[in-house]
């Protein structure tokens, strides 16, 4: 066999695309009017959750309350991040500490799941639960 010539070739392999988006959110609205009757109001209490956190991942929790379900979208809220903050957390106490009422009838809990910086891992939120009690209104 005879080599007539050579040409240098460079093969460029693109990096793998990240497996996860940078973040994703899930929320659930709670309506205390289905349980609290008459002059009773809801007192929002413990938010608990079950999650796993691979290295570099987190979940940012936001709790917002409003007088109507429609008002939840624009309602101010309080936020904290897990795993730095352990489960459970009293969202009513957090609302009060922020100068917000803890007895409005509607509550939105939003979980924003944040992937690792290289987006190769993401937290897994298996479940969450919010407890409230009906207390006499003022």
What was the pLDDT predicted at 2?
81
pTM (predicted TM-score):
0.85
Q: Assign 132 a pLDDT band (cuts: 50, 70, 90).
A: very high
Residue 84 pLDDT exceeds 80? yes
The C-alpha angle 111, 117, 119, rounded to 5 degrees, equals: 75
* Chain segment 2-55, per-residue pLDDT in tens: 877 778 888 888 777 778 999 999 999 999 999 998 899 999 999 999 999 999
Q: Which residue, among 108, 107, 103, has the nearest Cα to 134 in the 3D structure? A: 103
Q: Assign 127 a pLDDT band (cuts: 50, 70, 90).
A: very high
């Amino acid at each position: 066999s005879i080599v007539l010539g050579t040409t240098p070739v460079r093969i460029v392999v693109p990096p793998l695309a990240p497996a996860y988006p940078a973040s994703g959110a899930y929320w659930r609205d709670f309506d205390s009017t289905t349980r609290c009757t008459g002059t009773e109001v809801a007192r929002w209490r413990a938010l608990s959750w079950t999650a796993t956190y691979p290295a570099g991942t987190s979940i940012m929790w936001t709790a917002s309350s409003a007088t109507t379900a429609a008002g939840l979208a624009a309602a101010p809220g309080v936020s904290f991040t897990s795993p730095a903050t352990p489960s459970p957390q009293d969202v009513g106490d957090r609302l009060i500490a922020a100068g917000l009422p803890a007895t409005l009838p509607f509550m939105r809990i939003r979980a924003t799941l944040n992937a690792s910086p290289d987006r190769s891992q993401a937290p897994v939120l298996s479940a969450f639960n919010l407890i409230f009690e009906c207390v006499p209104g003022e």
